[in-house]
Amino acid sequence: MAWAINKAFILGNVTRDPEMRYTPNGQGVTSFGVATNRRYKDASGNIQEETQFHEVVAWGKTAEAITQILKKGNKVAVIGRLQTRNWDAPDGSKRSRTEIVLDEFVPLTPKGAGGSGGGEDFDLGGGDGNTPETAAQPKRAPGKKKEEGDAAGDEINLDDIPF
């Protein structure tokens, strides 16, 4: 059996406020950057620091939630898949960009420290970018069945999320 895994998990700082756009068919798409740092000792024993910058793209309801929740400087955990896009630039040159297409994210900046939320246990959707996303919904405890009136099955207003 052949296995293939395309999964990216990063934890870093948002480098710019998320930018929301809409496709011609009206689907929301948000892009933002995340910086990650790595510290290591070089051959001489000196501590070195290296920063990597990652482009992240989110679609649908998740894209809308991100613009309300994340701000430049916030800490965030991002889980998604890597995707490379290729295009021809106006000057005729070939361009490409590798991005993380967001499946899930967790805001890690505490409430009141930089303006956005903490690490509450919320599943904020994501998906593969080809289907509309669902609204943010709190996760149910493992094994707990959906009961009538259970908030996890009802539509959640983003203004009601406590972060």
The residues near 61 (Cβ < 8 Å, ≥ 6 apart) are 28, 125, 132, 133, 134, 135, 136
Torsion of CA 7, 139, 31, 66, to 10 degrees: -160
CA distance linking residue 115 with residue 69, whole number of Å: 8
pLDDT tens sequence across 125-142: 444 443 333 333 344 444
pLDDT for res 158 = 57
pLDDT for res 157 = 60
Q: Does the pLDDT value for residue 151 go beyond 50? A: no
pLDDT for res 2 = 81
78 exposure class (CB count in 10 Å sphere: 0-12, 13-18, 19+): buried
Record the pTM.
Answer: 0.65
pLDDT tens sequence across 67-94: 999 999 999 999 999 999 999 999 999 9
pLDDT tens sequence across 2-56: 889 999 999 999 999 999 999 999 999 999 999 999 999 999 999 999 999 999 9
Higher pLDDT, 86 or 153: 86
Question: Domain 8-160 belongs to what topology?
Answer: OB fold (Dihydrolipoamide Acetyltransferase, E2P) (2.40.50)
Q: Does the pLDDT value for residue 146 go beyond 80? A: no
Give domain limits for the chain: 8-160
Q: Does the pLDDT value for residue 64 go beyond 90? A: yes
